[in-house]
Structure formats: structure tokens, C-alpha cells
Amino acid sequence: MLLIFVGLLLFTTVVTAIEITCTFDAIDPNFGASISFLSPYPTNQSWHNITNDTLQIHITNELGETMNVSFYWANHTLIGYNNSATNDTDINISTGITYDRYVQYNWYVNVSSIHYDNQSAIYWFKGEAFPWDINRDQSVTNTDLSSLLAVYLEDTSSRNDINNDGTVNYLDRSMLQAHMGDDYT
């Protein structure tokens, strides 16, 4: 009887030791590490050239691991991916489309590595307005003309310089007036 009691006591000690060992082995030394999403391109909440189909994000992985980076439209449709992205680099993807003017495009990035998955915020941009729609309200009105006339004959790189020659002049006014009354809604 004493032999059975000593055997049970030894068995309980061994089982307890195994449980403690398993508990300490389960601690992840990388707990709290993160992935950062920086400098989305096109810039979030911006107007974007309708023929430039590149999306870009700068990825930083605190552990320095190689990552799988997937770009998605906000409706979860895959745009493209890079399965060998290195730490602290810009990741580019071509959407393969020409954007529609005034249309908003929403997109995000999903990153996975050995230790974790992470998803960016949803970024958006709009396909650039026509150059003569200076205030980008989808119609060419006297408001656009007033904006142009406020800087008439000035050297500028603003939207008022419709033909992008560096000066707001009669060429810009002529282009705007040729489209006066146009409605793009």
C-alpha cells in the first residue's frame, strides 16, 4: 500500500512538471511585434491621374521577415499580390485599368508573414476631374471661370493653369469657355 502511495506521488510530480514546462514553452517572444503601412499611393483621399494604374504602399515589418502582400478593392476583389516582399520597402502593383473621372476607388492591403497577418485601413482616391472643371464639382460654371480669373496672368502650377504651361492666360480661359455649361454627373 505504501508502494502504491509513493508511486502516485511521483506520477503527480512528473505530470505537474510537464505542465509547467509546456506553459513556459508556449510564450511567443515576438508577441507585440507589428507591421506598419506607410505612404499609400495614390495619397489617401486625393484626386489621381486616370491613366496611372499603380497602387503602392510602404511596408515595415518589425521582425524583418519576408511578407506576402495582397492588394484588394474594398469589395474584397483581389487586384494583385507580391509573395516575396522584403522589410522596409515600397510594394507596387498595377491595377490594369484606366480610372473613370470623378469615380471614387477604395482599396486596402493585407500582409501576412510567418508570425501574423495584418490589414491596412481602407484608402480611397478619385479619378481626376477634367482640367477645366477647376473646382471638381462635375460641372463647368461661372464659379470655375471666377477661380481662373482670380489668378489671370499669374505664373502658377495650380489647377487654374488648365494647359499646364506655367501661366494662367487666354489659352486657359479659352479651354474653360469651350466647356462652359458641361455637366459630368
2 assigned to some structural domain: no
Give the pLDDT of residue 114: 82
- Same domain? 77 vs 147: no
- Same domain? 141 vs 115: no
- Same domain? 114 vs 136: no
Mean pLDDT of successive 10-residue stretches along the chain, which has 185 residues: 51 46 38 76 96 95 89 98 94 96 97 86 97 97 96 93 96 97 96
19 assigned to some structural domain: no
- Same domain? 39 vs 123: yes
State how far the Cα of 20 lies from the Cα of 13, in Å rounded to an integer: 11
- Same domain? 74 vs 41: yes
- Same domain? 137 vs 94: no
Give the pLDDT of residue 4: 54
State how far the Cα of 183 lies from the Cα of 133, in Å rounded to an integer: 10
End residue of a domain, out of 127, 145, 167: 127
Q: What is the CATH number of the domain that holds 183?
A: 1.10.1330.10
End residue of a domain, out of 98, 127, 156: 127
Q: What is the CATH number of the domain that holds 108?
A: 2.60.40.1220
- Same domain? 135 vs 122: no
Give the pLDDT of residue 138: 97
182 assigned to some structural domain: yes
Print the SS3 string covering the chain: CHHHHHHHHHHHHHHHHHHHHHHHHCCCCCCCCCEEEEEEECCCCEEECCCCCEEEEEEEECCCCCEEEEEEECCCCEEEEEEEECCCEEEEEECCCCCCECCEEEEEEEEECCCCEEECCCEEEEECCCCCCCCCCCECCHHHHHHHHCCCCCECCCCCCCCCCCECCHHHHHHHHHCCCCECC
Give the pLDDT of residue 12: 52
* Domain span including residue 49: 35-127
- Same domain? 116 vs 43: yes
- Same domain? 159 vs 111: no
- Same domain? 113 vs 162: no
- Same domain? 39 vs 105: yes
Give the pLDDT of residue 53: 96
Look at the chain and report how many structural domains it folds into: 2
62 assigned to some structural domain: yes
For the entire predicted model, the pTM comes to: 0.77
End residue of a domain, out of 104, 127, 150: 127
